[in-house]
Chain A
Amino acid sequence: MPHGPIAAASRPPMAAVATRRTVTGNRLRDGVPVYFAGAGRWSPAVAEARHVAEAEAGALLAEALAGPPPHPVIAPYLIEAVLRDGRLVPLGLREEIRAFGPTVRPAES
């Protein structure tokens, strides 16, 4: 398991799964990673993210960016994701860790 539990659990067989696109960013007020759920709504749960095929990605990003200031999310951007067992999983370790991490347990509080 070269990447520990997160990647081991989430990395799909690439050839078998079609890549989807979704929009993410960090929430302005607290920096938490959020995902565009559609209709102006952003969710910290990637499972609630709206996802589209590559051809519709531009329109999804435009919709996510719309609205008067202050935008609730800092610099939203498109990422790749895949559906695995019906669960949306971002591609790439950085985005996996943003969605599900960190992979380490902090000091006991």
Chain B
Amino acid sequence: MDAHYINEVLNGNTNAFSYFIRTYQNKAYGVAISIVKDEENAKDVVQDSFITAYSSLASFRNDAKFSTWFYRIVVNTALQSIKRKKRKNEVLGDYAITDNQKTACNNAIGLLEKQDLKKLIKGVFEKIPAKEALVLQLYYIDDQNITEIEEITAFTKANVKVLLHRGRTNFYKVLIKQKRKEFF
């Protein structure tokens, strides 16, 4: 399907690009917001990424997946954006999370309704460092595997695994912090 619309756009049918916007804008927004942590900035990142993708579509190799190629543009644009606006990460503390705590968290969030769970995850991702939140978003929400995340982010496989581990730990830390406040 993607290949058909790519050919249409390359043959001069600009309107065919709408298909890509409709198909990928929400996922791209999720990726962007996990990095920039701000809705308006994330929308700007998605918009810029689509324009970059449109301009560079001729350089896209048809043997690759359009989504992987496009998410990589989104990640690069978002990382450039946060480089300009140095944002301070929340200090999450340097302590270990026990298996019991993890199990308790998983059980508790497993009981939440879909909307409450979305709200909770959104809040948690906002407090996790950009790269970790990005890897968690791609792995847990967008269902990308480690190899795909490696291609999208240009991080090494080992780095992706480290970020995933750290991201999970921070995910539970933020959850435990919030547990005292609202959700549990």
- Please indicate whether A and B come from the same complex rather than being unrelated chains: no
The chain B residues found within 8 Å of chain A, CB to CB, are none
The chain A residues found within 8 Å of chain B, CB to CB, are none
